[in-house]
Amino acid sequence: MKMEHQTKLQKTVMTGVFAALLAVLSQISFPLPSGIPVTLQTFAVALCGFVLGAKLGTLSVVVYLAIGAVGVPVFAGFSGGVGAFAGLAGGYLWGFLFMAFLCGLGASRSKRVLAIILGIAGLSICHLCGAVQFALLSAISPWQAFLLASAPYLLKDVISVAAAYLAAQAIVYSLKKARLVRE
């Protein structure tokens, strides 16, 4: 699933569109007692990487994080600001960068299974970052943090990565068919 953009303008637009998509899907949120909501962020982050590739996919997440850092309420639950990076869910925000990058690397592979494995590796790093920060801020063990802040989300997140890969294939196919990108 390799996609080549035709112009710098097209790269810029695609990066912005996927940052906006990530912001929108972050708002589909269901709060849990742990303080970490169930959202479609992991699906959107994986989609950014799988469609745009490692470089532009990660850049779209950087744009999303930067917009949120300056206070625009793009994070889950319409939150924003630098404080979000220091909160209970802040580690997951940092982890999105690794996830988008590894999903993007997966997109450049010809084997579907390898692409999804790289996406799940990125998801694992994202969960590790999130659980470590949650543990530090909550003054609990990393294992307790994993059980409270990561384990309840793993199945949904693994399914999100696989679904994002399949959605990315359809998006890339449609863009190629419409001749909006090179093959």
Handedness of CA 165, 170, 173, 179 (dihedral sign): negative
| Contact by Cβ (8 Å): 181, 9 | no
33 has a pLDDT exceeding 70? yes
For residue 152, what are its two tokens? 């309840």
What DSSP string describes 149-170?
Answer: IIHHHHHHHHHHHHHHHHHHHH
3-state SS, residue 40? coil
Q: Which residues pair with 4 in a beta bridge?
A: 182
pLDDT of amino acid 109:
87
C-alpha closest to that of 98 among 120, 68, 81, 82? 120
| Contact by Cβ (8 Å): 1, 107 | yes
Residues of the chain above pLDDT 70, percent: 95
pLDDT of amino acid 60:
98
Q: Write down the architecture of domain 8-172 according to CATH.
A: Orthogonal Bundle (1.10)
- Summarised one tens digit per residue, pLDDT across range 100-155 is 999 999 998 889 999 999 999 999 999 999 999 999 999 999 999 999 999 999 99
99 has a pLDDT exceeding 80? yes
State the pTM of this model.
Answer: 0.93
11 has a pLDDT exceeding 80? yes
- Summarised one tens digit per residue, pLDDT across range 35-47 is 677 889 999 999 9
